Amino acid sequence: MKSNAVRSLVRLGIALLIVLLGLLNYCSSTAENPITGEKQNVQLSVQQEIVLGLEARQQMVAQHNGLHPDPLLQQYVNQVGKQIVERSTAFRSPYPFEFHLLRDSRAINAFALPGGQVFLTVALLRQLTSEAQLAAVFGHEIGHVVARHGAEHLTKHPVSQLPVSAINATTNDRQDKAAVLAQTVKQLVSLRYGRDDELESDRLGLRFMTEAGYDPQGFVQLIQSLGVTRQDGRPPAFFSTHPSPDNRVKRLQTLITQTYPQGLPRNLKNNRELFAQMVKARL
């Protein structure tokens, strides 16, 4: 009887130790996001996020029929995205943002990988009518990166322990490192953000695009336009995990009113003519 009691106490002690170590690990990896102010438990460093994003980039490109072949379109898309980062508080983030136009002419979508790799499909670009709408798309995706939604996702799931071990693996573990990275990249490529993440990215995206000088009504117009677009009887992939278009519009209008209680400044831009010249004339 005594031996059974001792064994039970030993098992209980081990269980408590495991819980304690887990709590210590959680607390040690909790940090405040410098832009959102949110306290986050993210086990990946910024550099690890960047590495994983770069590793996943080529798979993302291949999955969507490659990059669009027009170099001027690629340059324009990247320029708009970079301007949003450089002219907003997103500039304080440590990520080297890159913006890519994918050849995919069917999936109306945009997405971001951890570390600053941002993509949109030519199918989505064709749905837009102004640079302000493009800025809204990119602002939203920049929000995902800055808020570290991808890194949080990896931390919350069982595979979350793999990226760290993969990136820190020694040269003697190259095969293990490659296998782990491949598994993690596969998860990143198929990543779908949750509703709360999408709403936070809407809020951040609106903030970033307006700080960069764009008319926030472009965001509202984007949601309204895509809200009536259907693909095979379903909403575009861009709405696959987003709240309903009507709810998003209401939230955006509320945010715009809160940001500009005296009304929108007249100097905010939509750049319809430039967008038509750079995009519509080339597609």
**Cβ pair 231, 149 in contact under 8 A:** no
Contacts of 187 (CB under 8 A, 6+ apart): 154, 157, 159
DSSP state of 243: P
Burial class of residue 207, CB neighbours in 10 A (0-12, 13-18, 19+):
buried
CA–CA–CA angle 160, 94, 108 (5° rounding): 70
Element holding 31 (H helix, E strand): strand 30-32
CB atoms under 10 Å from CB of 223, counted, come to 23
Describe the chain by its helix, strand, coil percentages, rounded to 5.
65, 10, 30
Tokens describing residue 68: 């669009």
Q: By the 8 A CB rule, do 42 and 155 touch?
A: yes
Residue 38 among the catalytic residues:
no
Q: Contact, 105 vs 121, CB < 8 A?
A: yes
41: Cα separation from own chain's centroid:
17
* Pair 35, 88: CB distance under 8 Å: no
The letter for the amino acid at 82 is K
In the numeric block, which tokens belong to residue 172? 């003697």
Contact 193, 241 (CB under 8 A): yes
Q: Catalytic: which of 141, 152, 198, 200?
A: 141
Q: Which residues contact 25 (CB under 8 A, 6 or more apart)?
A: 43
So which residues are the catalytic ones?
Answer: 141
